[in-house]
Amino acid sequence: MERAKHSVEQVRQVYSGFQAWGDFVDAAPYGSGHINDTYKVSVRLAGTPAHYLAQRINHAIFKEPDKLMENVMRVTGHLGRKLAAAGDADATRKALTVIPARDGLPFVRDAEGNWWRMYLFIEQAQTYDIIESERQAYEAARAFARFQNLLADLPAPRLHETIPAFHNTLSRLKALDAAIAADACGRKAGVAAEIAFIDERREQCGRLLARNARGEIPERITHNDTKINNVMLDDATATGVCVIDLDTVMPGLALYDFGDMVRSATAAAKEDEQDVSKVGSRIAMFEALARGYLSEAAFLVPAEVEELVFSGRLITLTIAIRFLTDYLSGDVYFRTHRPGQNLDRCRTQLQMVRSLEAQAAAMEAIVRGISRPGS
């Protein structure tokens, strides 16, 4: 899927629909996300440079953008109120601030029917596609755990599921099986090894869902897309500042969040690396993640701690299944920039699963050796 293009003038028109302060100067593409189109908007506010973040919500993926934005408003509002009540002088850097439209809604519709939202831009912080140090991994994991802690008392009703069964591995397997059967693009013959690898691990795929159904692992409010580039780290201190990309914040399992951190932060290579000999999980990064996460995640029950290491393997396999499904279906979900990119993404994830399996015993020992708050 090719990146949608929007001119500076188009973004200017969108900006004019929000209750934003400042004279529009420019807009430029920002970030490395696969789904939405994101622009850093530069303005002058009483002569001082300032910035906003404008995003076109991909309504082909998020079918009900109004419900998505209802979730975002509830979550950001709750985070902001809790930070303010705690007397945090940096609250607007630690939680996203939604800029309302001129009609009071949390989004603007453009002339083509696209849905747009806008946030205050988080200054003096940045994201990383590949984590560069154990300190960064530790801080990112702490930030995600704090995020879950702050949302633990979000009042009813239950958040909307913006993508139903998002991390439900059994559901993802059904979609893969349908894509294999359809073979819409004639690609099945070239991925027999990948299909066989996944088939060998099918029995593992319902493990967390079964424990949830038995009441051993509770449902929580989770981010559900805890790639390392969804935490902003402070430029000066490298501490975790703000959790971003809230489109998939919804009911889920805390283990999904930790598992996706393991998948993304411990990776030694890019998500679409074509040379799988470079791909593997870095155990030192795993230890940093585990220490950072467990330093804040006092809410975890024993069954969740028991499954932390397994969760990394499960979510990595689940993402591989999703990349392979999209490749077989003609690259209709994840944005691609070259032929075969989704297949390369799948293969890196499968290699990561191999690496995580080989290091499972050592990772379990690390988790057992970490003291938790209140334990």
Q: Which domains does the chain have, with CATH numbers?
A: 8-123 (3.30.200.20), 134-368 (3.90.1200.10)
| pLDDT in the model for residue 298 | 87
Tell me which residue of 162, 156, 151, 293 sits closest to 222, measured CA to CA.
151
Enumerate the β-bridge partners of residue 18.
101
- Assess whether pLDDT exceeds 70 at residue 57: yes
How many C-beta atoms surround the C-beta of residue 15 within 10 A? Answer: 21
2 has pLDDT over 70: no
Q: Name the phi and psi angles at 209, rounded to 5.
A: -60, -40
pLDDT, position 141: 96
Per-residue pLDDT of 266-322, as tens digits, reads 999 999 999 999 999 999 999 999 999 999 998 999 999 999 999 999 999 999 999
Confidence check: pLDDT of 7 > 80: yes
Helices (H), 183-307: 192-199, 207-213, 254-265, 283-296, 302-306
pLDDT at position 333 is 87
Residue 132 structure tokens: 């560069």
Question: Please, what is the Cα angle at 39 between 133 and 330, to 5 degrees?
Answer: 80
pLDDT at site 375: 57
* E runs forming strands in 111-249: 115-120, 125-126, 220-222, 231-234, 240-243
Q: What is the pLDDT of residue 108?
A: 98
Q: Write down the pLDDT at residue 31.
A: 82
pLDDT tens for 223-265 read 999 988 899 999 999 999 999 999 999 999 999 999 999 999 9
pLDDT for position 128: 86
Residue 4 banded pLDDT, cuts 50, 70, 90: very low
